[in-house]
Amino acid sequence: MRSKRTTIMILTVGTLLVHSWSLQAAEIEGVTFRNRFEANGTDLTLRGTGLFRYLKFIKAYVGALYMLETVPSRDVLTDTPKRLEVEYFYGIKGEDFGPATNKVMAQNVDAETLERLRPKIDYHNALYKDVQPGDRYSLTYIPGKGTELALNDKPLGIIEGADFAAAVFAMWLGEKPMNEAFKKQLLRST
């Protein structure tokens, strides 16, 4: 009898430990990110967190990348669910996001793709609002649904297409990202 009770207690404690591990959060520069994110019924796991430095010494923002556990980091720009959350340390005008998006996308996709995506890019850029320190933007891509842009978990719009998702995520995770160190930090776990 005692052995059965001990076994049940060990199993209960083990279950609680596993459950509490999945609820733990990652912290970077005093900002906390969840270890998991559920998007449209899909469980995404934290792949990595990073600090984005502007001009090498200004801490601009921190971010977290979420992906399916089974997808290797090298496949981040494929047609697979993913989420990027970014929390800002400085205020930025909404109108300033568009020119930066245009410039960095142009570095990561060919001219023909950029032209084909232009209406989607313009719509995406029009969704941006001003941010203050502590605000958090997120991009969440779900195949067949599109890429949702949200500010502080409030959806601003959805842009359809795996091609757009690949282009917008390439800004941080492509061959010519805005910041190579940030990219490596986000993709560090495979």
Give me the residues paired with residue 48 across strands: 65
Question: Worst-scoring range by mean pLDDT, 2-11, 153-162, 177-186?
Answer: 2-11
Give me the residues paired with residue 131 across strands: 92
Indicate the CATH number for domain 25-186: 3.50.70.10
Task: Determine the residue type at 22.
Answer: S
Strand ranges, E, within 113-160 = 136-142, 146-151, 154-159
How much is the mean pLDDT over the chain? 89
Does 12 have pLDDT greater than 80?
no
Residue whose C-alpha is closest to residue 155's, from 143, 139, 142, 166: 139
Contact 151, 97 (CB under 8 A): no
Which uninterrupted H or E stretch holds 106?
helix 97-108
pTM beyond cutoff 0.75: yes
Average pLDDT over residues 83-108: 96
Does 29 have pLDDT greater than 80?
yes
Residues 114, 96: Cα–Cα separation, whole Å: 19
Q: Is 108 exposed, middle or buried (0-12, 13-18, 19+ CB in 10 A)?
A: buried
